Amino acid sequence: MSGRRELQAAVIALLVSLAIGSILMLVAGKAPGTVWWAMVTRTATDPYAMGQVLYKATALMLTGLAVSIALDAGLFNIGGEAQLTAGVLACSSVGAALPAGTPAVVAIPVCVLAAAAAGAAIGATIGALRALRDAHEVITSIMLNAIVAGVALWLGNAVLFEGGTTRGAAIAPGAELPQLGLGGSSANAALVISLAAIVAVWLLRSRTTWGQAWLAVGRDPAAARSVGISVPRVQILVMTGAGALAGLAATSFVLGHKHAFEEGLGRGTGFLGISAALLGRNHPIGVGIAALLLAFLSAGGLAVGDLVPKELTEMLQGVVVLAVAASGPWVKRAARRAVAEVRA
């Protein structure tokens, strides 16, 4: 029943977003049906556009999972920007430091682990401050987003940037992830990492005692304590895992596309991951589908740039979040009314 309500909330949010998007298209002087159809057909029939959808979705899946598992445990992880930036910095620095002849079987795992570890360190800091000092994770996340961005820029200016640019040294060739070969797009093998993460989180969440423990903490911390679950420990570990997931998103940007550190690389993906988590109703598979939808809106907006301003489709990403936030309580109230009617 709960799963059905979650699906209802997501469907309602999508329908509301489509309606608002159609109104905006009418205001822009275009027929909504024409624009939506053009967005779907132009994207679906263009290998490059489809590749860009997958490229954008790859990182969104990971930052969305980073938000969703924290929400499951009763925490709000808006530190995805800091966790992703730390992952980009660590991944690119380690990749550039590797000898040029390092084989891929060594280089890729080392860089992937560096990205995950850097993101995990930021997540663990947020979790520890919440669990041990009762510092609200939203406040500490906001501060760390600014701090990590500043540190990355400082390190770039002091050490990493080359030739007066905002780009660092190239990573070792062996650390580069293969492209998916979709019309010259940026889609790369980091998609496999994202899909594996979705499966891993789904299994951990639904099939393990640990997964049930973090869900129990999210539902009722007091009840969780009464059955022997250490709430502080769960909070720290969940935020550490969330940070690792967001840090892994760096693999798509660094190992799969840019092959070097760049100022602002991946910026905004951490925040957009909140949209993916909310639209996906915190379910790992739902997050993956939501990431694809949001990526489609982004890439599809470029495909119909001759019909409507791209800013219109970017606005729709925010509209989706607002629609999800509004539809959730409505569906829950409807479910309570239905239960009350049955009992009556």
Chain segment 9-49, per-residue pLDDT in tens? 777 778 888 888 899 889 888 899 998 999 999 999 999 99
Rounded CA-CA distance 326/278 in Å is: 11
pLDDT at 309 over 60: yes
The predicted-structure confidence for 156-169, as pLDDT tens digits, reads as follows: 999 999 988 999 99
pTM of the prediction? 0.92
pLDDT at 3: 62
**Contact call for residues 160 and 170 (beta carbons, < 8 A):** no
SS3 258: helix
Better pLDDT: 104 or 29? 104
pLDDT at 2 over 70: no
Helix (H) or strand (E) holding 111: helix 104-133
pLDDT at 317: 75
In this structure, the number of other CB atoms found within 10 A of the CB of residue 325 comes to 12
Work out the mean pLDDT of the chain and round it to a whole number: 91
- For 23, residues 6+ apart whose C-beta sits below 8 A from its C-beta are none
SS3 191: helix
* End-to-end CA, the chain: 19
Q: What CATH number does the domain located at 31-307 have?
A: 1.10.3470
Rounded CA-CA distance 195/285 in Å is: 9
pLDDT at 1 over 60: no
Token pair recorded at residue 320: 């989706």
Mean pLDDT of 191-204: 97
